[in-house]
Structure 1
Amino acid sequence: MTVFAGLFDLSKWSPPRFLVCGFAVIILLGGLVLSLPVSSAQGTSLRYLDAVFTATSATCVTGLVVVDTGTYYSIFGQVVLLLLIQIGGLGFMTMATLFALVLRKRISLRERMILQEAMNQPSMQGIVQLIRRVFRYSVAIEAAGALLFTLRWSLDMPIGRAAYFGVFHAVSFFNNAGFDLFGEYHSLTTYAEDPMVNLIAMALIVLGGLGFVVLADLLEYPKSRCLSLHSKIVLCMTGILIVSGAIAVFAFEYGNTLGPLGGTGKILASFFQSVTARTAGANTVDISALHQATLFFVIFLMFVGAAPGSTAGGIKVTTFATLVGGVHAMVRGKDDIVFFRYRLARGRLLKALTITMLAMALIAAVTMALCVTENAAFIRVFFETVSAFATVGLSTGLTPDLSDAGRVLIACMMFAGRLGPLTLAYALGPKSEKELYRYPEGKLIIG
């Protein structure tokens, strides 16, 4: 009995376990609401498995769907999805903290520890102030995006519908969710050559993927005239990955999916696919028609993802930069990883290696399982698995045709990707104990 008492005693839960269970409860409740007839445009009940899959995709800000968002769900269902996206993007603990601050409740030490884990921060110092900034930045950016989208789409549809579309897609794109209302899984393919739609969407995706710490640094830059090491690495890696991704898409798809587009359209589409692969999930070209070389490069972009503490997924650009820095240091015979004249602690490299290896192991295991349960080409299965883990939402069209077992596997991947493999390991593993001794150093031949 004492074991079960400890299991359900929330005060004894570690922050990772609290986060995992909190997200799980939100997903199960969201799935229950989405399965109700009121959530369907036709007044029919959605299978609970499919509803939970969709709730997982929304809460984990992914965008993979088994039914079309724009045509299947009623306005009520779409609003529920929007709330799940916002909660999932900012984090349920962030939302709960905001309500507590409005009600002038005190934020306890335990709650600050959970917030630190949720926001992936190195310390609790200034965590409540960061939450306030997160809310202000999110509201301001989403409102600006919604207004600009409304102005553009008011040319194509009634102003009320344009405003609704503007709000929905601004929230979806800023939170890197990838859900859209254009129907028939078309996403933004109709606007492939529209500069305004492309630039607004890309700006929202990039801002959401930079992370709130970087956004705060950028806003403070006019006064401070300096950026943190974290912000410098995130901005540099983001720029490098976006440009290299655009060049690769342009080169591989010039005579394929980009063929029907004009010169400006080709450039816009190349950059948009590069940006959206950083865990956004919207697309302006048919993903299922991409060459295998393009799909493979997009898989790499999805796996890397965006910045820590953002609305995006993947192993994160800082993790990838640390790995690259480690390789560079080893090749040049250096002992330290140095960025912008700052040395990284060895623990950073070990954490980066751990996150990457756990992610690769999880992706490999689920890909092999899906190859058994699904009758599809390997590249499509691999693409869908990485898209789910990195909470991207791009799809070659496999997700709606998944078996029940496949849907469970992909839903688990989205859940693991949103929380992070290391957080899951901490939540599910036994409580660590301090080592009282060290073993003698051994010799091992490497390479």
Structure 2
Amino acid sequence: MATPFIDSLFTATSATCITGLVIYDTAPYWSTFGELVILFLIQLGGLGFVTLATFFLTMAGRKAGLKNMKLAQESLNTINMQDAIPLIKQMLGLVFIVELAGACLLSIDFVPRFGLIGLYYGVFHSVAAFCNAGFDLMGGGYASMADFTGNPLVLYTLSLLVIIGGLGFIVWQDLFNYHKNRKLTAHTRIVLILSAVLLILSALFVFLMERDHALAGLSLGKKLNASLFLSVNARSGGFSTFNVDTLHGVTKVFIALMMFIGGASGSLAGGIKVNTLGILLCAVYCLIRGRDETIVFNRKIPQRIVMKAFAIVFFATLIMLGVTILIHIIQPEISLLNTFFDSVSALGIVGLSTGAVQDMNALNKILVILCMFTGRIGPISFALALASGKKPPDHTIYPDGKFVVG
């Protein structure tokens, strides 16, 4: 029986946008060829077509061109255009090393468990975890990693791969160069501090709220493993050791908030980005303290960056609420909370799901596809793509107006 086109398009988009939302369990449904196509799309989507094209042009001795350099800069979120090519070379080398190391570690468990095909399983899950895609070959729906709740090797290898992929290429480069200048940029410090805080906070919240509910029946060690694993994957990875539909409603809302935040800029994660959240928090803090400028780590954040951060959150919230409302209007029989959860998961390209996407009709699946695509390219880029062509710069100086807010 042929797979409906809309379901094939949904799966291909989910893989290319490194989301992880699926209509069918990957291993039980798709053939080996289908799995390899998904794996290729995950790797292509994770690294980015522009990044790969620029790299191969450079390796062939050809100039990438100003347009390609600019696209590569936007793809990697680098501050300077001249940093793009060196960063791409470092990035691809690191990607190969990390994914190979992850595959070797996972194969230590998978080969004895599954036989020689465990090597293939190791490669697939290493690439999916590092690219923050969330696809797996274990079956079992959205609780696919349930058999590994008591297996620290598999859980923490996957978690580490997801964390590395979610930190971002700028942070990697900064950490690599730390031995030279013995200091980290303000961007890297914001990312590392907030990532650690959100990771610990999420794990504690899930453990305290679900230890006698969704995690009931597990030993203390397995509860801690499952809580930490969900905490890591809530902001990007998409793997889970249990069905998130069994969570309390308040826990679903909290996890949706983590998915909305996502990882770092220039990373393989989605969301509004943790550094965007950091800039917003700093801006609010400085406003409360009566400062006219946003200062963090003795560095001033340009006003245009602060405004861009607010714009990103505004557009992302607008899209999230709009998609949720539209899906619920079209299919009111699907729980509003579950619709909201899966919509945020699509926009944040996370992949965690309550199973709502499997019950959606073709029209709602198209909405989710557009949501995943928007989440991958970014809400601001999506808004600019819909805007009209370039307008001449306006050099008019306008007088200050008197406005009241709050």
Q: TM-score range by the shorter chain?
A: over 0.9
1:247-262 residue pairs with structure 2 within 5 A?
247-262=204-219
Is the contact made by 1:193 and 1:261 (CA closer than 8 Å) also made in structure 2? Answer: no
Q: Secondary structure at the match of 1:45?
A: coil
Which residue in the other structure is 2:139 paired with?
Answer: 183
The aligned counterpart of 1:34 is: none
- Partners of 2:230 and 2:397 lie apart in 1 by 49
* 8 Å CA contact retained: 2:54, 2:69: no
Between stretches 299-308 and 182-191, larger displacement belongs to: 182-191
Task: Give the residue type in structure 2 aligned to 1:179.
Answer: F
Alpha-carbon deviation of 1:412? Answer: 0.4
User: How far apart are residue 437 of structure 1 and its match?
Assistant: 0.5
Give CA deviations for 1:107-148 in whole Å, capped at 9, x if unaligned. 111110111121122320221111111101111110000000
Amino acid corresponding to residue 131 of structure 2 in structure 1: N
For 2:171, the equivalent position in structure 1 comes to 214
- Displacement of 1:297 in angstroms is 0.6
Partner of 1:277: 234
Retained in 1: the 8 A contact 2:76–2:169? no
Of residues 217, 228, 245 in structure 2, which corresponds to 1:288?
245
- Seen in structure 2, the aligned counterparts of structure 1 residues 331 and 181 have a Cα distance that, compared at 3 Å, is same
Q: Is the 8 A contact 2:55 2:85 kept in 1?
A: no
1:414 is aligned to 372
Match of 1:391 in 2: 349
Whether the 8 Å contact between 2:263 and 2:270 is mirrored in structure 1 is: yes
**Residue 433 (1) aligns with residue 389 (2):** no
Residue 399 of structure 1: CA displacement? 1.2
Matching residue of 2:281 = 324
Find out whether 1:204 has 2:158 as its counterpart. Answer: no
2:42 equivalent to 1:85 = yes
Q: How far 1:285 sits from its partner (Å)?
A: 1.8
Query: Which amino acid is 2:74 matched to?
Result: E
Contact 1:71–1:184 at 8 Å: present in 2 too?
no
Q: CA deviation at 1:398?
A: 1.0
Question: Which of 93, 97, 120 matches 1:164?
Answer: 120
Residue aligned with 1:196, SS: helix
| 1:144 equivalent in structure 2 | 101
CA positional deviation for 1:73:
0.9
- The aligned counterpart of 1:9 is none
Q: In structure 1, the residue corresponding to 2:218 is in which secondary structure?
A: coil
**C-alpha distance in 1, partners of 2:108/2:60?**
35
Tell me how far apart the structure 1 counterparts of residues 334 and 153 of structure 2 sit (CA, whole Å).
Answer: 37
Query: Are the counterparts in 2 of residues 193 and 265 from structure 1 also a CA contact under 8 Å?
Result: yes
1:182 maps to amino acid: M
Find out whether 1:268 has 2:225 as its counterpart: yes
Q: Structure 1 stretch 149-158 or stretch 334-343: which is displaced more?
A: 334-343
1:312 to 263, 269, 278: 269
Matched residue type, 2:368: I
> Using the alignment, how far apart are the partners of 1:264 and 1:141 within structure 2?
27
**Counterpart amino acid of 1:52?**
L
Aligned mates of 1:260, 1:213 — CA distance in 2: 42
Letter aligned with residue 123 of structure 2: V
Structure 2 residues without counterparts, runs of 5 or longer: none
Supply the AA of the counterpart residue of 1:398.
A
The answer to whether the Cα contact below 8 Å between 1:70 and 1:184 also exists between their aligned partners in 2 is: no
SS at match of 1:251: helix
Once the two structures are overlaid, the 10-residue window that deviates more, 324-333 or 51-60, is 324-333
The gaps in structure 1 that reach 5 residues or longer are 1-43
Partner of residue 72, structure 2: 115
Q: CA deviation at 1:324?
A: 0.9
Q: d(CA) in 1 for partners of 2:353 and 2:367?
A: 15
The whole-number CA distance in structure 1 between the counterparts of 2:101 and 2:400 is 58
Residue of structure 2 aligned with 1:102, choices 35, 55, 59: 59
Q: TM-score, normalised by structure 1?
A: 0.88
CA drift at 1:104: 2.4
Paired residues of 2:132 and 2:268 also in contact (CA < 8 A): yes
Q: Secondary structure at the match of 2:300?
A: strand
Secondary structure at the aligned position of 2:237 is classed as coil
Show CA shifts across 1:261-319 (max 9, x none): 11111111111111101111100122110011110110110000000000000000111
The match for 2:401 is 442
Q: Percent identity?
A: 38
Pick from 181, 203, 214: which aligns with 1:246?
Answer: 203
2:129 alignment partner AA: F
Counterpart of 1:259, as a letter, is A
